[in-house]
Amino acid sequence: MLLCDEKGFFGEFGGRFVPPELDKVLDEVKDAFEKYRKDPEFLAELKYYYQQYVGRPNPLYFAEKLTKKLGGGKIYLKREDLNHTGAHKINNTIGQVLLAKRLGKKRVIAETGAGQHGVATATACALFDMECIIYMGEEDTRRQQLNVFRMELLGAKVVAVTEGLRTLKEAVDAALDDLIQNYENTYYMLGSAVGPDPYPAMVNVFQSVIGQEVKEQMLEAEGCLPDYLVACVGGGSNAIGLFAPFYNDKEVKMIGVEPAGKGLSPGMHAASLTLGKPGVIHGFKCYVLQDDKGDILPVHSISAGLDYPGVGPEHSYYKDTGRAEYVTITDQEALDAFFELSKTEGIIPALESAHAVAYAMKLAKTLSPDQKIVVNLSGRGDKDVAQVSEMVKNKQIALI
Ligand SMILES: *Cc1c(COP(=O)(O)O)cnc(C)c1O
């Protein structure tokens, strides 16, 4: 079910704030999305690739040892980390590449910061024989050399953007320029539940497979729905994928976890919903981290996948209506959870997902043993092991 109106507004958030030349490009994508999201053949093909290629359904795993150790509510982990490529992002790129194919596009472009969306895009493009161009700030290509090589292995061309601060923002601008010039044969693949209409709605639809599976799996395991859903929020795609199918189940509480980074002063975190104000960023309206003049503030998080100064419009709406609650977890708390889950359950989580685990661990202690929490384990931590090992070596952190 989609909550937005025909212009892509979730309450006052979302919509489309773009130059006129982009409007018709987005209309083409929107028309295709509206048509195919109800098309049985399209849905059958999507289901086939989810099962045979991504490896869905992935388990809803009862973390019994962690639960016992904390001594409160039961913690279940939705294992998106077990998907092909190791995270939830592939659910969305497979869906969008199937749409691009039906639009007759031969070329896919995307922007990426940490490289995770670039890798998921390059993977889908390899599978469907699409030419793939990934825009990345030059600074980010240096920080994420392994992901650049991964994308190249998968046949993508990585373009290092040398404008401005040479990070994600400039990569977005470069990708949009490309799209305006080449829209006739080119599809723009967006990686989170953000951007102008129809992207937030589309990402919701492709990621909702997470929550749909959780519902069935929980009913089978416990005979009831969970009391809490917990997911980390960067742009908000893994969280909306878990939350949206439970929207009308009012007894199920939803908690989105934002990165508090090094603390809640300006520039130290990326807690857009917690500390932002409504504004427009990258073509849509949402809670944005900005100063008094409306200039966008710098952001920080230990996990590269969470440091975005905006957030999905649907989460902005959930916050204002009180349907979901948004909390924060610091870098240190996320690291502690990263170590704890690794040791206790033998599962190394992505640093992004470790934010959700950290909050669930706090929450579980306050609950009774008959209450249940589902945590979205959005990705595996292999990509973060070198970074954490560096921090341990430099004695920035201690291995617990
Ligand atoms: C990209 C990423 C995120 C953050 O993106 P959302 O759109 O907020 O889900 C979270 N977890 C992992 C593993 C990621 O790769």
Q: Among 378, 380, 385, which residue has the most ligand 1 atoms within 8 Å of its CB, making it the best to mutate?
A: 378
| Share of residues in the chain with pLDDT > 70 (%) | 99
- CA contacts within 13 A on the Cβ side of 130: 32
How far from 53 is each of 82, 85, 91, 102, 111, CA to CA, in Å?
12, 10, 10, 19, 24
Q: Is the predicted pLDDT of residue 399 greater than 80, yes or no?
A: no
Distance CA(349)–CA(12), nearest Å, equals: 35
Pick the closest to residue 212 from 184, 247, 186, 171 (CA basis): 247
Contact 171, 137 (CB under 8 A): yes
Pick the closest to residue 102 from 2, 48, 35 (CA basis): 35
Average pLDDT of span 319-324? 98
Question: What's the pLDDT at 358?
Answer: 98
Q: Is the predicted pLDDT of residue 397 greater than 90, yes or no?
A: no
What is the distance in A from the centroid of ligand 1 to the CA of 107? 24
Q: Which of 55-64, 223-232, 246-255, 301-310 has the lowest mean pLDDT?
A: 301-310
- CA contacts within 13 A on the Cβ side of 19: 6
In this prediction, residue 219 has a pLDDT band, given cuts at 50, 70 and 90, of very high
Residue nearest to atom 2 of ligand 1 (CA): 305
| Share of residues in the chain with pLDDT > 90 (%) | 92
Question: Any residues with CB less than 8 A from the CB of 267 and at least 6 apart, and which?
Answer: 297, 298, 299, 300
Sign of CA dihedral 198, 166, 397, 389: positive
DSSP type of residue 54: I
DSSP type of residue 244: G
Contact 216, 105 (CB under 8 A): no
Q: Ligand 1: does its nearest atom lie under 6 Å from the Cβ of 121? A: no
279-282 CB contacts, 8 Å cutoff, 24+ apart: 280/17, 281/309, 281/310, 282/172, 282/194, 282/195, 282/196, 282/310
| Residue 173 parent element (H or E) | helix 168-182
pLDDT tens, 65-121? 999 999 999 999 999 999 999 999 999 999 999 999 999 999 999 999 889 999 999
Question: What's the pLDDT at 283?
Answer: 95
Ligand 1 atom nearest residue 379's Cα: 13
Distance CA(16)–CA(177), nearest Å, equals: 17
Q: Is the predicted pLDDT of residue 400 greater than 70, yes or no?
A: no
DSSP type of residue 380: B
Q: Which residue in 89, 169, 285, 383 is the catalytic one? A: 89
Q: Helix axis angle, 116-127 relative to 89-102, nearest 10°?
A: 40
List beta partners, residue 77. 61, 375
What is the distance in A from the centroid of ligand 1 to the CA of 206? 14
In this prediction, residue 29 has a pLDDT band, given cuts at 50, 70 and 90, of very high
The three-class DSSP label of residue 101 is: helix
Ligand 1 atom nearest residue 87's Cα: 13
Q: Ligand 1: does its nearest atom lie under 6 Å from the Cβ of 197? A: no
Pick the closest to residue 179 from 263, 251, 107 (CA basis): 107
Ligand 1 atom nearest residue 241's Cα: 9
Active site residue 111: yes
Average pLDDT of span 25-29? 97
- Cis before 226? omega within 30: no
Question: What's the pLDDT at 170?
Answer: 87
Q: What is the mean pLDDT of the chain?
A: 96
Active site residue 389: no
Active site residue 101: no
With b for 16 or more beta-carbon neighbours within 10 A and e for fewer, the 84-103 pattern comes to bbbbbbbbbbbbbbbbbbeb
Residue nearest to atom 4 of ligand 1 (CA): 234
Q: Which residue in 80, 111, 170, 314 is the catalytic one? A: 111
Give me 93's structure tokens. 């790129």
Q: Among 78, 81, 88, 311, which residue has the most ligand 1 atoms within 8 Å of its CB, making it the best to mutate?
A: 88
SS (H, E, C) 294-324: CCECCCCCCCHHHCCCCCCHHHHHHHHHCCE
Q: Which residue in 285, 319, 378, 383 is the catalytic one? A: 378
Beta-strand runs (E) in the chain? 9-10, 13-14, 60-62, 74-79, 107-111, 131-137, 157-161, 186-188, 228-232, 253-261, 277-281, 284-288, 324-330, 372-377
Distance CA(175)–CA(134), nearest Å, equals: 8
In this prediction, residue 164 has a pLDDT band, given cuts at 50, 70 and 90, of confident
